[in-house]
Chain A
Amino acid sequence: MAKNLSGDLQVASANRLVDGTVVWLDEAGQWTDRLQLAAVARDKREAEILLERARVEAFTVVDPFLVAVTEDGDGTIEPLSLREKIRASGLTFEAIAADAVRYA
C-alpha cells in the first residue's frame, strides 16, 4: 500500500518558465512533465539535496519546491495533497471545449 507516514518521500516540482507547465525534477536533474519520472527523495537529507539540485537547475523554471508523495508497490508516485494531485492531473471536471455550444 502507498505509504508516506512521516512525510519523508518528496519530489521536487516547479512551473516551467516559458509556458507555465507543471514539471518535476528527474534523476538526471532535468525537468520533466511526467510525474512518474520524478526523482524521489526518501529521507530528510535526500530531500534537502533534491531541493538544492532543483534550485541549481532553476534557470528554466519558476520557484521550485518540494512535494510530499506516496509510492505504492509498483512504484507509482502520487502526491499526498489534493492541491498537488490537481497540479499533477489537471482539472477535476471537464472544461468546455473550444467549439462546444453547450456544456458537455
Chain B
Amino acid sequence: MRCAMPDTHFYRYDAYDRTLVSERVEQFRDQVRRRLAGELTEEQFKPLRLHNGLYLQLHAYMLRIAIPYGTLSSRQLRKLADISRRFDRGYGHFTTRQNLQLNWIRLEDAPDALAALAEVDMHAMQTSGNCIRNVTADHYAGAAIDEIEDPRIWAEIVRQWSTLHPEFTFLPRKFKIAITGSPNDRAAVRVHDIGLRLWRNAQGEVGFEVIVGGGLGRTPMIGKTLREFLPRDELLAYLESTLRVYNRYGRRDNLYKARIKILVHEVGVEKIRDEVEAEYAATRDGALRLPAGAIEAIARQFAPPDLQPRAATSGLVEARRLTDPDFALWLKSNVAPHRVPGYAIVTASLKPAGSPPGDASATQMEGIADIAEAYSQAELRVSHEQNLILPHVAVEDLPQVYRSLEVLGFAEANVGKITDIIACPGLDYCALANARSIPVAQRISNHFASLARQHEIGDLKVKISGCINACGHHHVGHIGILGVDKNGVELYQISLGGDVDFGRTAIGTILGPAVTADKVVEAVDAVVRTYLAARAEGERFVDTYRRIGAQPFKENVYGSL
C-alpha cells in the first residue's frame, strides 16, 4: 500500500487529491478496455487518451507526465525512474513545459503506469488535448533572490481549478498558462496563452499582470496586457472569464487559427478585454472567489525550508575554485544566488557534449534524486530549458554536489552557453516533425564542446525545432533553428535575435535561405565568429546582434558556405 509521503516544501496531496487521481485512473482504465474491445472508435478515444497524456508518435505511444510547476521530490523522481524501467526503455525526456516524456509506452500498460504515478501523487492529466495544460512556473521559485512571491502557490490553485474543468475540456485548442513571481521572468510568460506576472504596486499590494495571446508555432506572437493589476484572490474568476470568452469565440474552423492569440489578433485586445471584463464583473463575487482560508491552506505548503543562513563563501569552495578550472567555470555558469545567504541554486546540465538534450536514464534520475535528498531538501525542479535544478544547496556542499553530478554526467559547465541547447524530439520521435533536431543538437554540441571556448562565447541560447509547431521554442532562441522539409530533404532555417527575457521578448529574424544538415554547424560557427569579432567589451551575443544587425552575420554565414 501507499506509504506516507515525507514532508515536502511544496503542495502535498491530501485525501481529496488522491481520490480524484485514482478515480481518474479507473475511468481511463475502463476507457482503454472499451477501446481495445472495439466499443470505442479511435476518433472517440483519441481525445480521451490525449487528456490522459498519451500521444501516438512515430514508433509508439508517448506518455507525457505532468510535473506541476516543474517541482518534484526525490521520492517522485525515483518513481519516475522506476516507471521508465518497468513500462518504457529506461530513460525519459524533460520538456520545455517542465513535463517528463516517456517514448515507448504500450497503450495496454498505460493504466498501470498511471496507477504507479498515482502512488507518488503524480498523474498525466491534461498534458495533451484541447484543454488547459500543465501550468508552468519559474524554476527558481521559492529560492530566487529576486522573488516577490512564490508563483507556485498560484500555479497550484490554477492547477486544481483547471483539472477536469467541465466547461473547458473541449476548447478550440490547447491552452498554456505560465506564472512568474519575479521581475526576471524565467517562465517565458509573454509567449503563453496566458502569462501571469506577480508584481507589487505603489500601494504595496501584490497582484497579477495578466498577459494574453502569446505563443510560438506557425504565427509567433508576443502576449498583450489584458489587465495591468489583478488582485490575487480574484485570479480564478478572471481566468474563468477569459477561458469562457475563448471557448465561446475562439475559431473552430481552422486548426492552425484556433489559439487564443489568433482571436486576440483578429478581434483586438481591447474588444477581448471588454468581453472578459464584462464576464468577470458577473463572476468575480461568486463561487470562484476563494476564501482566505483556502488560499492560506495552499500557501502554507509552499513555506520555504528552514534554512539557517550560513557564511556566503566557503574555504573549501574557494580553494577548489583556484585549483580546478572546470569547477570554477561550473560555479560561474551553473550556480545561481539564493535568497538565503550561504545557499545556492544549482542547475544540473542535462546537455553533456553530444547527448540528446534533456534526456536522462533511469539510473541518472535515481542518482540525482539521491543528490537532491542529501543536499537540496529532497526537492528538484525541471526548467523549461530541459535541465534539472537543485534549488537549496548549501554553498559549502557545492564541491560535493559537483563531484556527485560529475559522476552522473550532469556537471557540464554549460548552462546558458551555446551547448545548453533546447531541442524538441523532432523527426526521430514525432509524427508532426519535418526534420530531425536531436542529431543537429548533437553535432553543434560536439563542435563547441570546449568549455573554455563556450565561456569565451558567453551566454548564447540555441533552440531547435523540427517543425513549425515550435516545441523547441526556436522563435525565441538567440540562435533559432527550424527544420523544414523540401522535396524530401531536411533543411534548416536559421534565425537570430530571438529572446524570452521579460522586457525584451522578441521573435528571431530569419537570416537567409535554409541550409542542409551538414552545413548547420558551419553556419552556427560563422555566426559565432562574426559575433566574437564585432562584440564590444562584455557584450552578449544577442546585444551585439541588436547593435550591428543581421547583415554582417548574413555575409559570413552565406559567404562561407
Contacts and interface: CB of A to CB of B under 8 A. Distances in A.
A–B touch (CB < 8 A): the answer is yes
Interface of A: 15, 17-22, 59, 62-63, 80-83, 86-87, 90-93, 95-103
B543 to A, nearest CB: 33
B359 A96 contact: yes
B106 A19 contact: yes
Contact of A98 (B35, B84, B109): B84
Interface of A is mostly: loop
Interface of B: 35-36, 38, 42, 56-61, 84-85, 89-91, 104-109, 352, 354-356, 359-364, 367, 407-409, 427-429, 433, 436, 438-439, 442, 485, 488, 490
Contact of B438 (A59, A93, A99): A93
Given A96-B356, A100-B363, A19 B407 contact: no
Contacts of B104: 20
Given A18-B106, A83-B427, A98-B90, A103 B59 contact: no
B409 A102 contact: yes
Contacts of B105: 20
Contacts of A95: 89, 91, 356, 359
A15 to B, nearest CB: 6
B294 to A, nearest CB: 41
Contacts of A92: 428, 436, 439
B483 to A, nearest CB: 11
A103 B354 contact: yes
Contacts of A82: 427, 485, 488, 490
Contact of B60 (A19, A83, A99, A102): A19
Contacts of A91: 59, 428-429
Q: Which of A91, A96, A101 has the most CB of B within 10 A?
A: A96
A98 B362 contact: yes
Residue among B38, B59, B107, B485 having the largest count of chain A Cβ atoms under 10 Å? B59
Given A93-B428, A98-B84, 6 more contacts: A17-B42, A19-B109, A92-B436, A98-B91, A100-B363, A100-B364
B159 to A, nearest CB: 28
B56 A20 contact: yes
Nearest to B106: A19
A52 B264 CA distance: 44
A98 B363 contact: yes
Contacts of B35: 17
Contact of A99 (B361, B433, B485): B361
Contacts of A59: 38
B107 A81 contact: no
B428 A96 contact: no
